[in-house]
Amino acid sequence: MSPKQKYLAEFLGTFWLVLGGCGSAVLAAHVAGPGGYPFGIGYAGVALAFGLTVLTGAYAFGHISGGHFNPAVSFGLWAGGRFAGRDLLPYVVAQVLGGALAAFVLYHIATGQAGFAIDPAAPGAFASNGYAALSPGGYSATAAFLCETVLTAMFLLVIMGATHRNAAAGFAPIAIGLALTLIHLISIPVTNTSVNPARATAVALFAGAGALGQLWMFWVAPILGGVIGGTLYRCLNRND
């Protein structure tokens, strides 16, 4: 595949991840059903939606670009010796732009409902990530940083194991999608789950000053975790 094809695949895959995952959180997580009773997919549904976007996106685009859809994954695969450093910047740019376009589309879908408004001071506003006052569960910055770092590291270990040449062929997207679902089930209450700087940036652009002010964490912690996970897996397979 040409470099342009790879970058376009990363753009489209990240677009799909943000539109599907964040879209489920914004549009379907908590809605009013008949008679005003709460009705929606809840945290578990949002977790599954993120897993499904990665699973389906990996099958659609993985054979073209590797199916990263996440700067932390690109950095982790580089640290693990599976990805060339010269491709890091263009991959990250493609991922951020794809996520931003998805958030733009999602915003215009959401504002099509009368009364829709984004409260920048609310935890998880427009599916954004946050800590302290912007954490869905009120978790501290330290807890949020630790959560994002450790879970991204584990995500990379799963990705690298599932895509190893000795792993069962064709099943990697399933393992990776289920891992991302599990990660969301653990960490939505803590940070609203990023583990992906492109995803965090995309919605923060529309969520207001609070989310933008905390965005640094959702770049630093996931990339650190990705590098840790990639390095650990490389150590595990040093003689492979």
- Tell me how many domains the chain contains: 1
pLDDT at residue 155 greater than cutoff 60: yes
Q: Residue 205 is part of a domain; what is its CATH number?
A: 1.20.1080.10
Q: What is the pLDDT of residue 166?
A: 85
Task: Judge contact between 172 and 162, C-beta under 8 A.
Answer: yes
Percent of the chain predicted with pLDDT > 90: 85
Query: Maximum CA pair distance of the chain?
Result: 63
Confidence of residue 170 (pLDDT cuts 50, 70, 90): confident
- 38: β partners: 32
Give the tokens for residue 129.
């990530």
**C-alpha pair distances (Å), 1 with each of 7, 64, 65, 173:** 10, 6, 8, 20
- Across the chain, where does the E strand assignment appear? 31-32, 38-39
Percent of the chain predicted with pLDDT > 70: 95
Say which range, 26-40, 121-135, 148-162, has the weakest mean pLDDT.
26-40
Residue-number span of the structural domain to which 204 is assigned = 3-115+122-236
pLDDT at residue 34 greater than cutoff 70: no
Q: What is the pLDDT of residue 30?
A: 74
Task: Judge contact between 27 and 126, C-beta under 8 A.
Answer: no
Single pTM value for the model: 0.94
Q: For 38, phi and psi rounded to 5 degrees?
A: -60, 135
pLDDT at residue 115 greater than cutoff 90: no
Select from 58, 28, 26 the least CA-distant residue to 45.
28
Output 15 or 36, whichever has higher pLDDT.
15
The average pLDDT across 177-201 equals 98
Confidence of residue 32 (pLDDT cuts 50, 70, 90): low
Q: Give the model confidence (pLDDT) of 46-89 as tens digits.
A: 999 999 999 999 999 999 999 999 999 999 999 999 999 999 99
Q: What is the pLDDT of residue 157?
A: 97
How far apart, in whole angstroms, are the C-alpha atoms of residue 6 and residue 91?
8
pLDDT at residue 36 greater than cutoff 60: no
